[in-house]
Amino acid sequence: MAMELEYIFKIMILLVVVAVIIGLVLSFRDQISNMIKQFLQNLGGGKQTFQLKVIDKGSGIFTSKEVATYIQSCYAAITSMSTAEIPAGVTNCYVLRGNFNADQAGILQSITDSSLQDKVNISADFSTNAAIVAYQDPEGIILVK
C-alpha cells in the first residue's frame, strides 16, 4: 500500500511539473518562436537576403505596364520585410532582359499606388536589352537602371 501511494505522488508531481512547463511555453511562445527563427537563420548563414530574380523574355518585349508591375512587386516584397531584415544600400530585385517598349511617363502612369510614383527613380536607357529594378535603403526608393 505504501508503494502505491508513493507511486501516485510521483505521478502527481510529474503532472504538476508538466503543467508548469506547458504554462511557461504558452506564456512565452512569441519569444520562443522568435528565438527559434533567429537560431535557424543563423544556421542558414545569418541575415535573410532578398532573392534576385532574372526575367528573360528573349526576343519578347517589356511594356511600361509590365515594368511598373515589377516595380510594385519589388517595393511590396522589400517593405513587407522587417526593418532589421532589409539589406542596407541597394538591393536588386529584378533583372529584366529583352526588348523594351517602355518610357518613364508610361511606367509612372501604370503604377497604381500614387504614393509609390514619388518613390521611383527611372534612369534606365530602354534602348538597351536589360534593365534592373532595385530598392535603395534607407531612402526607400525604387531604382530602374
Number of folded domains in the chain? 2
Integer CA distances (angstroms), 116 to 2, 75, 107, in order? 77, 8, 12
Predicted TM-score of the model (pTM): 0.66
- Could you tell me if 90 and 112 lie in one domain? yes
Examine the domain organization and report whether 86 and 133 are in the same domain: yes
Query: Which segments of 22-129 are extended strands (E)?
Result: 53-63, 89-101, 120-122
Verify that 37 and 62 share a domain, yes or no: no
pLDDT at residue number 28: 84
Q: Are residues 81 and 19 in the same domain?
A: no
In a domain, 86, yes or no: yes
3-state secondary structure of 138: coil
Per the CB < 8 A criterion, the answer to whether 51 and 91 are in contact is no
Determine, yes or no, domain membership for 17.
Answer: yes
Q: Judge if 29 and 96 occupy the same domain.
A: no
Q: Is residue 134 part of a domain?
A: yes
Q: Tell me 47's DSSP state.
A: S
Q: Is 16 part of any domain?
A: yes
Condensed to tens digits (0 to 9), the pLDDT of residues 119-141 reads: 999 998 888 889 999 999 888 89
For residue range 17-63, what is the model confidence (pLDDT) as tens digits?
Answer: 999 999 888 888 888 777 787 777 666 554 445 678 899 988 889 99
In this structure, the answer to whether residues 74 and 32 fall within a common structural domain is no
What is the span of the domain harbouring residue 63?
Answer: 53-144
Whether 118 and 65 map to the same domain: the answer is yes
